[in-house]
Amino acid sequence: MALRIVFAGTPEFAVPCLRAAAQHHEVVAVYTQPDRPAGRGRELTPSPVKREALLRGIEVVQPENFKAAVSKDALRALQPDLMVVVAYGLILPQSVLDIPTYGCWNVHASLLPRWRGAAPIQRAIESGDRESGVCLMQMEKGLDTGPVLLSKALDIGADETGGQVHDRLSALGAQVLADGLTLLRAGIRPVPQPQPEEGVTYAHKLDKAEAKLDWSRPAVVLANKVRAFNPWPMAEAQVAGERLRLHGAVALDEAHGAAPGTLLRASRDGLDVAAGEGVLRIRVLQREGGKAITAADYLNARRDLMAAK
């Protein structure tokens, strides 16, 4: 028997999960964040989840929050068997979590309890994690504290960016959700496993102010940050007298006696900048008002740097 599902999500990450939920079940409504100004014209723009819902002819609901009784009454009137929440962006009070017959499930992009919170993908890469994954969690009032129903892990490649890992975890999340829904449809409720008390970390929301590199930090730390912050907010730094956005860089285990931030070498392989420990080789970069280019293309316009030693 198909389940009556209310889906709550907002960004592109959640779209594959919406598709998975709608494949064999009745999605009676989609909750998503209100339209926000975006782009240079700052026009009100629907979320990716809203666009997908409208394409499928699913009712879209966009409350600012669930504080008003009318918002809870509207959800209750939908008589949901289950609410699936994926990167929705609103905290759900217990009074909402209690409405669906089977409560609320959340698809979270980390192996809990590591990286609870808003930016688990980027924080995992920034910290040099070699593994991530997806957890299907039974929601409770705490922030990503609920018991885990199902999970799947994946390796993080040494050169993978935040955007690349995001896309793989988004697809993996849809698989995990589909597995859970298949069980529930067959009358089998996944067994909730309480999260361990040890190993809890929090993935705080990304801030553009974090984008600027601190050259006194080790090159490995800087390289991880460049990967994690691609495609947003993009790491940036002062290099050779101008502000650059860094799309790709690697750490070199190389001793030097230069002050952090010093351009040591400039070649077609990259711009080698002294870090607190080691050297950061910038391979792909973006100038003010420009597009992403290789270091080789950059040096065609900055031939003065080829003599840098």
Work out the angle at residue 54's Cα, subtended by the Cα atoms of residues 53 and 57, and round it to the nearest 5 degrees: 90
State the burial class of residue 303 (Cβ atoms within 10 Å of its Cβ: 0-12, 13-18, 19+).
Answer: exposed
The annotation status of 206 as a binding-site residue, yes or no, is no
* List of residues 6+ apart from 55 with CB closer than 8 A: none
Is residue 188 within 8 Å of 150, Cβ to Cβ?
no
Which element (helix H / strand E) includes 134? strand 131-138
* List of residues 6+ apart from 272 with CB closer than 8 A: 252, 263, 264, 265, 266, 279, 280, 281, 282
Tell me which residue of 293, 288, 12 sits closest to 163, measured CA to CA.
Answer: 12
The annotation status of 113 as a binding-site residue, yes or no, is yes
Provide the annotated binding site: 110-113
Annotated binding site for (6S)-5,6,7,8-tetrahydrofolate: 110-113
